[in-house]
Structure 1
Amino acid sequence: MKAAALLLLCLLSTAALAVEPGERLAPWTLLDQFDAPYTLNDQTRILLVAHDMDGAKLVNAALEDKPKGYLDERQAVFLADISRMPSVIATLFALPKMRDYNYRILLDRDARIAPRYQAGESEVLWLQLEDGKLVQQKVFKEAGALKSALEAVEP
């Protein structure tokens, strides 16, 4: 009985964290792959969130031929939840590879930010923001669709 109550409490607390349209996103600060801080602010128009490596690969595929600053021009940022990645793997392999990318990756190493934004496995969550408030959210499961959506955003 206690286990069922605990499970219910966990599910309710997760649902309470979900962001709804019209809601203001709480500001947060994370480091990117170069250890440079980024703070979510009212100028951010698009927040892309991936909770796993497959989701991150979708973003990478959508941006692979784009010039440096492509996301910045669109006032977009990419948040990657790397909390499940062993720190040794992250330090020795993943971070050096991420430093080769021509876009910023905000790294949620402790799963303190990404769980606020519900995205499934192998998906990228797109949060469309205006003045810090959520206007719309979309889910992408294909790199081509994500690439097209980013291309439709005027810099």
Structure 2
Amino acid sequence: MKRWILLGLALLAAGVQAVEPGERLAPWTLSDQFEQPYTLDDDLRILLVARSMEGAKLLDAALEGQAEGYLEARQALFVADISGMPGLIGQLFAIPAMRDYRYRVLLDREAQVVPQYAAPEEGVLWLQLERGMLQERRVFGDAAALRAALEQAAP
């Protein structure tokens, strides 16, 4: 609870308002690690968001050993904020390495999408959606807990 209060105060000070349960997510389009665009639609049920390399690693650990299409079968997608990554590092090393992942990574290269969700600096933010409306937000700091939640979201 204390973390959410501090996060809320920091966002107010920065002039950022996070989407709240019951609100519709603003539309956006991002490209993935293969430069394939995705536009947010009403079919998405789970949006997983990471602002840091640690969050991305946590998601990768939670998905370890899962077959390709695991997230998509759960109507889930992952968005990574890579705006803080130096462009050359991303272009030459990080994004090519992401092409080996068995899941799609939507890349927020200019921090246009992730900040509106008030994702924590560490961990993975889980946004539970229904027809484009936010139902619930959860934060995972543990790969096993995230994996268990994804298993419960099975189709």
Where 1:137 maps in the other structure, the secondary structure is: strand
> Do residues 105 (structure 1) and 114 (structure 2) align?
no
Equivalent residues, number: 146
Shift of residue 12, structure 1, vs aligned partner: 5.5
Identity of aligned residues (%): 60
* Structure 1 counterpart SS, 2:15: helix
TM-score after normalising by structure 1: 0.91
CA distance in 1 between partners of 2:66 and 2:135 (Å) = 26
Give the distance between the partners of 2:85 and 2:121, measured in 1 at CA: 15
Counterpart amino acid of 2:33? Answer: Q
Alignment correspondent of 2:43: 43
* CA deviation after TM superposition for structure 1 residue 154, in Å: 2.2
Counterpart for residue 153 of structure 1? 153
Distance 2:77 2:113 in 1: 14
TM-score when normalising by structure 2: 0.91
Unaligned runs of 5+ in 2: 1-9
After the TM superposition, list the runs of 4 or more consecutive aligned residues in structure 1 that deviate by more than 4 angstroms: none
- 117-126 or 38-47, which deviates more: 117-126
Which structure has the bigger radius of gyration?
1
2:11 and 2:118 in contact (8 A); partners too: no
RMSD of Structure 2 on Structure 1 (CA): 1.5
- The answer for unaligned runs of 5 or more in structure 1 is 1-7
Deviations 1:112-146 (A, max 9, x none): 11101112222100000001000001000011100
In structure 1, what residue type is equivalent to 2:20? E
The DSSP-based 3-state class of the residue aligned with 1:147 is helix
